[in-house]
């Protein structure tokens, strides 16, 4: 007997019944839950068959089998105070925005087809979830934008999302922690996974985040060296002083 499971879902809803028609098994969702966003949004991730596609597919299967239903309802995860990481469905839900007081949204999708209210400031990073996507090009701008949002207004709440809140958007948040919280890449990944278990940047993004971490540490070293260069007076043998500029203090 050949059995086909129909798994295309346009909204995350609990299945209340199973209808068997001949040799085809169809999961029937009979209740709309949770509240719909402005539009029905597909929860499918990128269909690009890059070199870690099958690893990702296996991860989704494991999540579906072992993670509680609540983990698949629209939800946000607060990574640090006022900075949330989430999926597309959650990010486009007006009720979620109202509940959290969201003021800024950073989207990480190739072509955003959704719209936010006029009160929400929006930035988009136009990349696909593929290992060859040039994430590194956008990291400085995205991190700077997030930092301005969070520091310019103590009441600002920022949401970062891609489609699943696993790879693209998670990579942006990891970069922010590296740059502004002096975390290592491993430490930032561990922190994000502690807050949101499904965080899993693709291996191409991991490689670029390693480069970004090296760049940030190099910038920090240059800043420290610049601070150590200061004007000073040197005491001479005759008791007078001599003004010396731009002396590198190594002690």
Give the residue extent of every domain in the chain.
1-33, 41-224
Task: Report the pLDDT value the prediction gives residue 20, as an integer from 0 to 100.
Answer: 38
Yes or no: say if 149 and 156 are a contact pair by the CB < 8 Å rule: yes
Cα–Cα distance between 134 and 108 in angstroms, integer? 12
Cα–Cα distance between 113 and 86 in angstroms, integer? 17
Strand ranges, E, within 191-240: 229-235
User: Going residue by residue through the chain (251 aa), what tens digit of pLDDT does each one get?
Assistant: 444 444 433 343 344 443 434 444 433 344 444 444 444 344 444 444 455 555 666 666 555 555 554 555 668 999 999 999 999 999 999 999 999 999 999 999 999 888 899 999 999 999 999 999 999 999 999 999 999 999 999 999 999 999 999 999 999 999 999 999 999 999 999 999 999 999 999 999 999 999 999 999 999 999 888 877 655 555 666 666 665 555 444 44
Tokens of 71: 């983990």
Range 41-224 has CATH code 3.90.190.10: yes
132-159 in b/e burial notation, b at 16+ Cβ within 10 A?
Answer: ebebbebbeebbebbeebbeeeeebbbb
Yes or no: say if 201 and 208 are a contact pair by the CB < 8 Å rule: no
**Is position 162 annotated as part of the catalytic site?**
yes
Cα–Cα distance between 72 and 69 in angstroms, integer? 6
- Report CA-CA distances (Å) from 111 to 108, 114, 162: 9, 9, 11
- Report CA-CA distances (Å) from 28 to 8, 11, 18: 11, 12, 6
Options 86, 149, 157, 162, the catalytic residue: 162
Give the largest CA-CA distance in the chain.
106
Task: Report the pLDDT value the prediction gives residue 227, as an integer from 0 to 100.
Answer: 75
Tokens of 160: 């970062």
Task: Report the pLDDT value the prediction gives residue 59, as an integer from 0 to 100.
Answer: 62
What phi, psi does 70 have (nearest 5°)?
A: -60, -30
Residue with tokens 């959290």: 100
């Amino acid at each position: 007997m050949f059995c086909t499971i129909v798994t295309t879902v346009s909204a995350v809803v609990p299945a209340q019944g199973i209808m068997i028609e001949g040799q085809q098994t169809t999961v029937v969702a009979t209740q709309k839950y949770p509240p719909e966003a402005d539009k029905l949004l597909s929860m499918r991730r990128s269909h690009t068959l890059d070199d870690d596609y099958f690893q990702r597919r296996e991860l989704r299967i494991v999540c579906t089998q072992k993670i509680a239903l609540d983990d698949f309802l629209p939800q946000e995860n607060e990574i640090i105070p006022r900075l949330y990481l989430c999926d597309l469905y959650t990010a486009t839900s007006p009720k979620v925005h109202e509940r959290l007081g969201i003021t800024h949204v950073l989207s990480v999708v190739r072509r955003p087809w959704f719209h936010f209210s006029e009160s929400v400031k929006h930035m988009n990073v136009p990349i696909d979830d593929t290992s060859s996507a040039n994430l590194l090009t956008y990291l400085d701008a995205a991190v700077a934008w997030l930092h301005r949002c969070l520091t310019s207004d103590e009441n600002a709440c920022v949401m970062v999302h891609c489609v699943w809140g696993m790879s693209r958007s998670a990579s942006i948040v990891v970069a922010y922690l590296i740059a502004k919280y002096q975390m290592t890449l491993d430490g930032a990944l561990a922190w994000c996974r502690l807050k949101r278990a499904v965080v899993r940047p693709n291996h191409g993004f991991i490689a670029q985040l390693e480069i970004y971490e090296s760049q940030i540490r190099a910038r920090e070293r240059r800043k420290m060296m610049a601070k150590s260069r200061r004007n000073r007076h040197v005491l001479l043998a005759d008791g007078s002083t001599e003004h010396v500029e731009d002396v590198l203090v190594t002690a």
